[in-house]
């Protein structure tokens, strides 16, 4: 049995572990590389352990709740429900892998203390989003995330990086402002309310229907900026100038997922899907998600720059999550939520590989990928696995998500959604298969830059990170039926929302 | 007279006597006097805070005649909050002032003496319970501030001081004219005169306009940017923290206490002026080529923000505005102290020289960033708390225009804050070689950083201040 004090202290502890790491890293300064590596890895492992511990306790039925009154009637609440654990464990696992990758990737570059400091803070903010127990707390960490990712986006300090940073701030701070307005309004109407499965606004619907609709639109738009809903996605491709580990984390876990997670919370725990449907907002949400899925893929097709193509692919794929939530029902909700994890694993693998190609071989454009399979079989293999997963090839994780989404769409009687899913799968194939073909079947081209030699250990770290996440793409797909797989975890969550 | 009321005397006479002692003592003994004087009166705030928390206000009357007939001093929650800003900013500015004007040097006597006169004036203005006492206090403050600005060597500082003097005297004249009219109408100078029907509108407008000049509210702000940006660093910090704010507090007092039920159209009009100030200040701050100018224009923007209390006029809005006053004062003082150190090291505060500074002066860069977070009002920070309360107040009164404006104000602040941060920390030219002067002692950096941290941390634990401010002012909706 776990003491009541521990159930209060653990949620903030999970958040603060990486904050502490960040402080140590900042104070230690640039030169203390060994200390930095140790602090990074220890904090990442500790965080993972804490999340696993909380997860097991949540499974056993313990409730975790930390409340702190910020203002009268305005509480900071950190809690842990199954959905928190889903996002938190994804972040914890991927943070650990990305830390290993980033240490190797940035082996010789300047300003590493600053980079890893903000990197840790960024994970703190993500954990706060995962553990948030009400909208205010979610908003607070959502804004912190903006603050802590901006230094990572502009890390290189080139004019393009600065421009990307400006664009990022313009989008996300405006989104934050829209959220804040919605939040003030919502608190005025409903007071200080905790996330409740099925929502807590239903009693207000009769009297304030119009206001609630408008607030819903504002919340989705505010979170949609980071989730990259078209047309709010403009910052995402530009942010690709950031170093590869940042892109990987931004796309797989932190920023984009924070937006999607916010939408999940809004729909499931603030409004409840029934109320959303009652307000006439379900169909528009499905439409926006479908539109983003298709248009995102089309835009990806147009890009010839590897990372930018991946960026548009993210725009498209993250909307699967929103789509699943909006369609509703056990199957579609599970499919959407599990994509939070599955897309994270696949996308981080792709970005890891793209980063390795870029760092070691100077390969940045798609037409430079020719014949890399022979030069770097492991990395190319990982890339191929993740790309095939994205297309939805069984038994990889992407297939699991899409299968549940498709079955859910049929169960909900929405054949058009199925059409969207099929179109998207075809488009995915259209923009990923040529890459795979280039990697393995095209004759090797000449490299634009001489290959960069790095030490054996960093090289191993880079490759093993990519291979490890690729292996997860396979393993979690094959073992989807295992009781502790993300899929089963998500089905448990979805049962709470859509019995 | 209660024991707490006697402490009010200390708030005025400790700095005043220190001012005298600072000129009279030989340089070698001066250092103890200024340190003692500078640290002693803030200590009085601790028992006074407890008294105000208990009784809402501490009143001291002279000669047994209570206002409105006699005159007296009164310390309420709002005054106390600004006094705390004053005390904290003053203590934090000490190391920086010490470095710049070493008390052991004979020629630095006037500086310390003027600083203490400024402190006397500000404290007196916050305590004044009648309109004439307020006038005297604001005059004292202004004159001391003018002289302090002129302690900088440059010709620009002299010009700025002159401009400030002329405008401030004009403001004083308008104010005192209004005071005369009030006296003619009511036969009393008490700030709060319960039972008067309606204040003469001409008197009200004259007094408010005079105070708007002193509080540098757009479009009567023209003295401020030059004055703050050319003053020596510690002086700018103190001035930005409290000099404008003392006038603004007087402005609020006359609006809510003296006028009691001012015309509603006037409230909306002043709110619109606040809105214009907010936008203008932010745009101007974004365009400035010098760091201290950016910070100074940011003050103009935030004074406009604080004017929004007039149309909102509820207890919650008062708490929000009071809290913002606190957070903004601390953050601004921190920024000016950091800027002072930057000027020492770079020899200029032109933002072209900022790239790469985060490596040389990480503490200063961090201070600017933290204080910036409060200025933008991102959670969790003192700025956010104040903003949230004002937003809730706007929502409750249905003031959608004000609500949207307050929300957008954060974005406008973000523009100039992030511009500075991007230039300082991430600009491509950051590997440029600076011609560097030796950096000032670390304690000056730490003092600035502490203020900035405090501005953020109060956002996590705002209860004591909000409880203090909970009583509101007369004429406010509960």
Q: Which residue of A has its CA nearest to B384?
A: A140
Contact residues, chain B, for A76 at CB < 8 Å: 380
DSSP code string of B130-157: BHHHHHHHHHHHHHHHHHHHTTSSSHHH
Instruction: Tell the burial category of A339 from Cβ atoms under 10 Å away from its Cβ (0-12, 13-18, 19+).
Output: buried
Enumerate the residues of chain A whose CB falls inside 8 A of the CB of residue B379: 139-140, 143-144
Chain B interface includes A143 (CB < 8 A): yes
- In chain A, the residue whose alpha carbon lies closest to the alpha carbon of B389 is A71
Whether the CB of A140 is below 8 Å from some CB of chain B: the reply is yes
pTM for the full predicted model: 0.89
- How near does any CA of chain B get to the CA of A173, in Å? 7
* Predicted local confidence at residue A239, as pLDDT: 84
Q: How far apart are CA A404 and CA A397, in angstroms?
A: 11
Question: Looking at the complex, does the CB of residue A155 fall below 8 Å from at least one CB of chain B?
Answer: yes
In A, minimum Cα distance to B379 occurs at A140
Report CA A329 to chain centroid distance, whole Å.
23
Q: HSE, CB side, 13 Å, CA atoms: give it for residue A184.
A: 26
**Chain A positions in Cβ-Cβ contact with residue B426 (cut-off 8 Å):** 151, 154-155, 157, 161-162, 165
Is it the case that residue A164 has pLDDT exceeding 60? yes
Of B388, B396, B408, the CB nearest to A71: B388
**Domain ranges, residue B367:** 263-478
Contact check, Cβ <8 Å, A139/B379: yes
Q: What is the pLDDT of residues B69-92, one digit of tens each?
A: 667 888 888 999 999 999 999 999
User: Which secondary structure element, helix H or strand E, spans residue A210, and what is its range?
Assistant: helix A205-227
Q: Within a 10 A sphere around the Cβ of A137, how many other Cβ atoms?
A: 25
**Domain residue ranges of chain A, discontinuous segments joined by +:** 342-499
Pairwise CA distance, residues B395 & A181, whole Å: 10
Nearest to B380 among A69, A72, A140 (CB): A140
Contacts of B466 in chain A (CB under 8 A): 71-72
Question: Which residues of chain B have a pLDDT value below 50?
Answer: none
Token pair for residue B111? 């500086």
| For A171, nearest residue in chain B (alpha carbons) | B411
Chain A residues 167-186 with a CB less than 8 Å from chain B = 169, 173-174, 176-177, 180-181, 184-185
Average pLDDT score over residue span A139-160: 88
| Residues in chain B within 8 Å Cβ distance of A12 | none
- Strand A64-71, strand A74-80: pairing: antiparallel
Calpha distance B309→B326 (Å, rounded): 15
Measured between beta carbons, the chain B residues lying within 8 angstroms of A151 are 425-426
As beta bridge partners, residue B128 has B73
Which tokens in the block code for residue B112? Answer: 């310390």
Residues of chain A with Cβ-Cβ distance to B360 below 8 Å are none
B315 touches chain A (CB under 8 A): no
Q: Do A165 and B422 touch (CB under 8 A)?
A: yes
* pLDDT score recorded for residue B430: 53
pLDDT score, position B302: 92
| Inter-chain residue contact B430 with A157, CB threshold 8 Å | yes
Alpha helices in A253-305 (DSSP H): 255-264, 273-278, 282-302
- If contacts are CB pairs under 8 Å, which of residues 399-428 in chain B contact chain A? 403-404, 407-408, 410-411, 414, 418, 422, 425-428
Q: What is the helix (H) or strand (E) element at residue A75, kind and residue range?
A: strand A74-80
User: Within an 8 Å CB–CB cutoff, is residue A162 touching chain B?
Assistant: yes
Query: Is the Cβ of A243 closer than 8 Å to some Cβ of chain B?
Result: no
B430 touches chain A (CB under 8 A): yes
Chain A to chain B Cβ contacts (< 8 Å): 77
What's the pLDDT tens digit per position in B245-280? 999 999 998 888 887 777 888 889 999 999 999 999
Nearest Cβ partner of A184 from B385, B403, B427? B403
B159 lies in a domain?
Answer: no
- What pLDDT was estimated at residue A244? 85
d(CA A42, CA A31): 19
Mean residue pLDDT across chain A: 88
Whether the pLDDT of residue A422 is over 80: the answer is: yes
- pLDDT of residue A447 exceeding 80, the answer is no
Residue A20 φ then ψ, to 5°: -60, -45
CA–CA dist A205, A188 (Å, integer): 14
Q: Which residue of A184, A215, A225, A239 to mutate against B (max B Cβ within 10 Å)? A: A184
H or E element: which one contains A76? strand A74-80
Q: B358 to chain A: which residues are within 8 Å by CB?
A: 114
Looking at chain B, which residue has its C-alpha nearest residue A165? Answer: B422
Distances in whole angstroms, Cα of residue A377 to Cα of each of A245, A382, B138: 21, 9, 78
Contacts of A70 (CB under 8 A, 6+ apart): A76, A136, B380, B385, B459, B460, B462
Chain B hits for A241, CB-CB cut-off 8 Å, are none
Which has more pLDDT, B370 or A158? B370
CB contact under 8 A, A143 and B378: yes
Say if the Cβ atoms of B410 and A173 lie within 8 Å.
yes
Q: Name, in order, each residue with C-beta under 8 angstroms of A390's C-beta and a sequence gap of 6 or more.
A: A313, A317, A346, A347, A350, A398, A428, A432
Q: Which residues of chain B from 373 to 392 reach within 8 Å of chain A, CB to CB?
A: 373, 378-380, 385, 388-389, 391-392
How many Å lie between the alpha carbon of A333 and the closest alpha carbon of chain B? Answer: 32
Q: Round the CA-based radius of gyration of chain B to a whole number and report it.
A: 21
From the list A456, A321, A482, the residue with the least C-alpha distance to A398 is: A321
Does A161 touch chain B if contact means CB atoms closer than 8 Å?
yes
From B385, B407, B463, residue closest to A181, measured CB to CB: B407
Is B164 contained in some domain?
A: no
Tokens matching residue A175: 């989104």
Report the alpha-carbon distance of residue A137 to residue A66 in Å, rounded. Answer: 11
* Interface test mutation site (partner B, options A143, A145, A159, A241, max chain B beta carbons within 10 A): A143
How far is residue A490's CA from residue A332's CA, in Å, rounded to a whole number?
11
pLDDT per residue over A307-331, tens digit each? 889 889 989 999 999 999 999 888 9
pLDDT value of residue B67: 61
> Per the structure block, which two tokens stand in for B273?
């002026």
Question: From the CA of A145, how many Å to the nearest CA of chain B?
Answer: 11
The alpha-carbon gap from B422 to the nearest alpha carbon of chain A, in Å, equals: 7
Neighbours of B17 (CB within 10 A): 15
* Residue of chain A whose Cα is closest to the Cα of B319: A71
| Cβ-contact A7, A63 below 8 angstroms | yes
Rounded to an integer, what distance in angstroms lies between the CA atom of residue A408 and that of residue A402? Answer: 10
Q: Which of B394, B410, B463 sits opposite A177 (nearest CB)?
A: B410
A30/chain B closest Cα distance in angstroms: 10
pLDDT number for residue B432: 53
Q: Is the pLDDT of residue A108 over 80?
A: no
Contact A169 B395 (CB under 8 A): no
Report CB contact under 8 Å: B380, A169: no
CB contact under 8 A, A161 and B463: no
Classify residue B242 by its DSSP letter.
Answer: I
pLDDT at position B417 is: 92
In this prediction, residue A36 carries a pLDDT of: 87
Q: Find residue B60's DSSP bridge partners.
A: B73
Q: From CA A494, how far away is CA A488, in angstroms rounded? A: 10
Number of folded domains that form chain B: 1
Q: What percent of chain A has pLDDT over 90?
A: 34
Residue B134 lies in a domain: no
What residues are paired with B72 via a beta bridge? B61
Q: Which of A139, A161, A185 sits opposite B395 (nearest CB)?
A: A185
Give the per-residue pLDDT at A191: 81
**DSSP assignment string, A155-202:** TT--HHHHHHHHHHHHHHHHHHHHHHHHHHHHHHHH-S----TT-S-G
Instruction: Say whether B426 and A174 touch across the interface (CB within 8 A).
Output: no
Contact: A150, B418; criterion CB under 8 Å? yes
Kindly report the number of other CB atoms within 10 A of residue B219's CB atom: 11
Give the C-alpha separation, B145 to B216, whole Å.
14
Listed range (A271-275, A338-342, A408-412, A444-448) with the worst mean pLDDT? A444-448
A163: contact with B, CB 8 A cutoff: no
Task: Determine, yes or no, domain membership for B205.
Answer: no
Q: If you search the block for the tokens 């890399």, which residue do you land on?
A: A372
For chain B, give percent helix, strand, coil, nearest 5: 75, 5, 20
Q: How many other CB atoms are found less than 10 A from the CB of residue A326?
A: 30
Contact B365, B334 (CB under 8 A): no
């Amino acid at each position: 049995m776990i003491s009541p004090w521990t159930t209060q202290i653990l949620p903030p502890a999970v958040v603060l572990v990486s904050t502490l790491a960040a402080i140590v890293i900042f104070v230690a300064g640039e030169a203390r590389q060994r200390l930095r590596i140790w602090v990074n890895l220890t904090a990442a492992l500790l965080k993972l352990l804490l999340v696993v511990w909380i997860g097991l306790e949540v499974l056993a039925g313990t409730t975790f709740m930390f409340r702190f009154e910020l203002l009268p009637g305005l509480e900071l609440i950190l809690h842990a429900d199954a959905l928190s654990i889903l996002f938190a464990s994804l972040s914890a696992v991927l943070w650990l892998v990305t830390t290993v990758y980033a240490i190797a990737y940035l082996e010789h570059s300047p300003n590493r203390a600053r980079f890893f400091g903000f990197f840790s803070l960024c994970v703190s903010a993500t954990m706060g989003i995962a553990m948030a127990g009400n909208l205010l707390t979610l908003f607070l960490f959502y804004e912190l995330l903006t603050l802590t990712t901006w230094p990572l986006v502009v890390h290189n300090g080139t004019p393009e990086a600065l421009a990307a940073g400006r664009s990022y701030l313009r989008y996300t701070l405006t989104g934050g402002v829209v959220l804040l307005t919605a939040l003030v309004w919502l608190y005025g109407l409903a007071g200080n309310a905790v996330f409740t499965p099925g929502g807590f606004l239903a009693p207000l619907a009769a009297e304030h229907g119009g206001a609630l609709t408008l607030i819903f639109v504002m919340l989705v738009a505010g979170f949609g900026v980071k989730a990259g809903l078209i047309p709010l996605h403009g910052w995402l491709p530009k942010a690709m100038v950031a170093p590869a580990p940042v892109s990987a984390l931004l796309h797989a876990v932190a920023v984009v997922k924070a937006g999607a997670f916010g939408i999940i919370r809004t729909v499931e725990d603030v409004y409840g899907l029934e109320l959303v449907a009652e307000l006439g907002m379900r169909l528009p949400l499905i439409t926006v998600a479908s539109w983003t899925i298709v248009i995102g893929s089309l835009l990806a097709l147009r890009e010839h720059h590897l990372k930018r193509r991946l960026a548009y692919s993210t725009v498209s794929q993250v909307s699967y999550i929103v789509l699943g939530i909006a369609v509703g029902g056990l199957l579609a909700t599970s499919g959407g939520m599990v994509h939070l994890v599955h897309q994270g694993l696949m996308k981080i693998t792709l970005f890891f590989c793209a980063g390795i190609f870029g760092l070691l071989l100077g390969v940045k454009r798609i037409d430079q990928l020719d014949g890399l399979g022979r030069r770097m079989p492991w990395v190319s293999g990982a890339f191929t696995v993740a790309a095939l997963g994205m297309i939805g090839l069984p038994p990889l994780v992407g297939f699991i998500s899409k299968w549940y989404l498709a079955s859910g769409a049929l169960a909900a009687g929405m054949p058009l959604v199925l059409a969207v899913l099929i179109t998207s799968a075809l488009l995915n194939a259209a923009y990923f298969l040529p890459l795979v073909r280039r990697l393995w079947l095209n004759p090797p081209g000449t490299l634009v830059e001489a290959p960069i030699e790095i030490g054996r250990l960093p090289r191993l770290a880079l490759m093993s990170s990519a291979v490890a996440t690729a292996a997860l793409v396979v393993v979690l797909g094959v073992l989807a039926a295992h009781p502790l797989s993300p899929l089963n975890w998500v089905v448990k969550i979805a049962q709470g929302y859509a019995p | 007279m209660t024991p707490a009321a006697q402490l009010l005397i200390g708030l005025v006479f400790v700095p005043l006597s220190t001012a005298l002692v600072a000129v009279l003592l030989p340089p070698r003994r001066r250092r103890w006097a200024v340190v003692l004087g500078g640290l002693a009166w803030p200590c009085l705030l601790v028992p006074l805070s407890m008294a105000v928390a208990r009784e809402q206000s501490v009143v001291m009357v002279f000669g047994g005649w209570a206002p409105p007939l006699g005159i007296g001093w009164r310390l309420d929650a709002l005054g106390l909050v600004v006094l705390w800003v004053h005390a904290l900013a003053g203590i934090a500015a000490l190391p920086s002032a010490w470095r710049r004007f070493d008390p052991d040097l004979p020629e630095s006597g006037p500086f310390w003496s003027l600083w203490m006169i400024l402190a006397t004036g500000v404290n007196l203005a916050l305590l004044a319970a009648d309109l004439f006492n307020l006038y005297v206090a604001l005059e004292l403050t202004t004159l001391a501030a003018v002289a302090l600005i002129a302690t900088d060597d440059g010709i620009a500082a002299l010009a700025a001081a002159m401009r400030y003097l002329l405008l401030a005297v004009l403001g004083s004249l308008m104010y005192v004219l209004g005071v005369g009219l009030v006296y003619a109408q009511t036969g009393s100078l008490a700030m709060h005169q319960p039972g008067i029907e309606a204040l003469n509108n001409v008197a009200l407008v004259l007094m408010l306009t005079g105070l708007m000049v002193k509080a540098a509210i757009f479009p009567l702000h023209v003295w401020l940017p030059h004055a703050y940006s050319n003053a020596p660093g510690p002086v700018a910090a103190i001035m930005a923290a409290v000099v404008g704010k003392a006038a603004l507090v007087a402005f609020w007092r006359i609006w809510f206490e003296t006028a009691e039920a001012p015309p509603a159209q006037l409230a909306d009009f002043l709110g619109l002026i606040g809105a214009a100030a907010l936008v203008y200040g932010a745009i101007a701050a974004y365009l400035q080529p010098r760091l201290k100018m950016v910070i100074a224009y940011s003050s103009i923007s935030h004074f406009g923000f604080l004017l929004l209390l007039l149309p909102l006029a509820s207890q919650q809005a008062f708490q929000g505005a009071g809290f913002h006053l606190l957070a903004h004062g601390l953050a601004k003082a921190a920024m000016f102290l950091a800027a002072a150190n930057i000027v020492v090291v770079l020899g200029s505060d032109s933002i072209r020289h900022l790239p790469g500074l985060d490596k040389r002066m990480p503490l200063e860069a961090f201070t600017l960033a933290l204080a910036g977070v409060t200025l933008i009002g991102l959670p969790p920070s003192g700025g956010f708390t104040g903003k949230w309360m004002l937003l809730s107040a706007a929502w409750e009164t249905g003031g959608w225009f004000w609500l949207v404006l307050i929300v957008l104000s954060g974005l406008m602040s973000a523009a100039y804050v992030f511009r500075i941060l991007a230039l300082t920390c991430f600009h491509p030219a950051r590997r440029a070689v600076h011609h560097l002067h030796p950096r000032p002692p670390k304690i000056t950096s730490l003092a600035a950083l502490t203020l900035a941290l405090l501005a953020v941390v109060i956002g996590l634990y705002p209860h004591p201040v909000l409880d203090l401010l909970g009583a509101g002012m007369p004429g406010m909706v509960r």
